[in-house]
Structure 1
Amino acid sequence: MKFIFFILFLIPFSAFSQSPIKKIYLDSLWSETNETNHKYHRIIESFDAMNESYYIKDDYKFGVLQMEGNSKTEDGSSKNRIVYVL
């Protein structure tokens, strides 16, 4: 009985609990580009919600964190509290 409750009620709710993520590809001059020519990619969480700040994370092409922080704009152009990772 508990197993049926878990499948019918909890699994559908967990599918909707994830925040939307937007991924932008950037070249070596930090200009937006396509997936083939990118050097970095920026991940913006909750980009479709009207938030006061958005969590952003910039990674190198091969997946290593370059910097992370918050932005006042959903495209990541206005950065607050950036933490650079070397």
Structure 2
Amino acid sequence: LHVACEFKKLDAVKDLLNNNAIIDVKNKDGKTPLHIACEKDDTKIIKLLIDNKANINSTNYEGKIPLHMACKNDDIKIIELLI
């Protein structure tokens, strides 16, 4: 799921979620797929993850939530999805 988010592969994310991928699993940096999608500024994947109950308050190992990534990218639309 992380790789699909990293490379902005919406169809792959859909397929993985339809096959019961663990939506809030963390990578070696403590990031969830939602963190990655926010870093990559991918509104469609972010919306899909949120619609599938991704934890918007999950912290990475630096204590940052996905909203921090959205603010860093200065993307108002994504920020609005997360608040």
Is TM (by shorter chain) over 0.5?
no
More strand as a share of residues: 1
Bigger radius of gyration? 1
Larger relative contact order, structure 1 or 2 (CA cutoff 8 Å, min sep 6) = 2
TM-score by length of structure 1 reads: 0.24
TM-score, structure 2 normalization: 0.25
Bigger fraction of residues in helix? 2
